[in-house]
Amino acid sequence: MQRLAIITKKHKPDAWEAGRALQAWLKERGLEAVHLENEPEPQIPPLPPGIEFIIVMGGDGTLLSVARHFGQKGIPILGVNVGGLGFLTEISLNELYPSMEKVLAASYEVEERLMLTATLFRDGAPIWREHILNDAVINKGALARIAELTTWIDAEYLTTYRADGLIIATPTGSTAYTLSAGGPIVYPTLRHIILLPICSHTLSNRPLILPETAIVAVTLDEKGQDLYLTLDGQVGQALQPGDRVEICCAPHHLKLVRSPHRSYFEILRTKLGWGELGGRRMGE
């Protein structure tokens, strides 16, 4: 490994200073590190050629942006949280340099996280396509009436949801908006797609767990107005009557470097405030 990229959240001085310090630390070890600021959407800086490893310094939102733009390159990404612990940015600033020592020694593990591709069709033609790590959300404006979303799985009619909206999420996204909407927590390396109506008016509508091979299509009737498609909570498009949104597994997975300091379940306990067992092992 000779060339790395450090991507820091723009307008966050702590992240910028930490990135500059890491850049100097890597230079002392004979490595080239390119330091980039994560601009607001859609002005994401291009990734220079020859990058073999990416360090993201900021929060989960910064990593989501980097994943959408660079996940298809297959470059391992290490998330460093400048602030509180994140679900994606698992490394704290205090753990940065011990973690980087393991990276330079090639003593680290990479998780492959499922990503989705969302495509918006209008008048039968694709007009917008993005890769996403967490979720695609179709929901209504604040004053809009209940959305009617006709949903198909692999071209087979499923149902017409009458709800405030619909979430199509990855296992990684199961601890984001999906969790707030009452969805299940899915282990992040599983290969499933989560389908979850938001405040459905049909109480029997429950979350669905689909295989990664599924293609989810959602169509709007001619009365569908004031609806929006939002991806990873960061970018979106206003929808029009007759639009169709298709969600499927992306052709690539995100390579996310695992924290050497804590497990996924420890992160769950910390972030969700679950009761601790004092670190005891089973049977003790």
Contact 136, 167 (CB under 8 A): yes
Contact 139, 228 (CB under 8 A): yes
- Which residues are registered as beta bridge partners of 78? 55
Q: How far apart, in Å, do the first and last CA atoms of the chain sit?
A: 43
Torsions phi, psi of 199, nearest 5? 50, 55
Q: How far apart are CA 164 and CA 169, in angstroms?
A: 16
Angle between helices 96-104 and 13-28 (to 10 degrees): 40
13-34 burial: b if 16+ Cβ within 10 Å, else e? eebbebbeebbeebeeeebebb
Which H or E element spans position 231?
strand 227-231
Token pair belonging to 102: 């393991």
Query: Where are the alpha helices (H) located in 29-130, listed in sequence order?
Result: 60-70, 96-104
Query: Where are the alpha helices (H) located in 39-159, listed in sequence order?
Result: 60-70, 96-104
Q: How far apart are CA 41 and CA 69, in angstroms?
A: 10
Q: How far apart are CA 245 and CA 232, in angstroms?
A: 15
Q: How far apart are CA 14 and CA 157, in angstroms?
A: 50
Q: Show which residues are catalytic.
A: 60
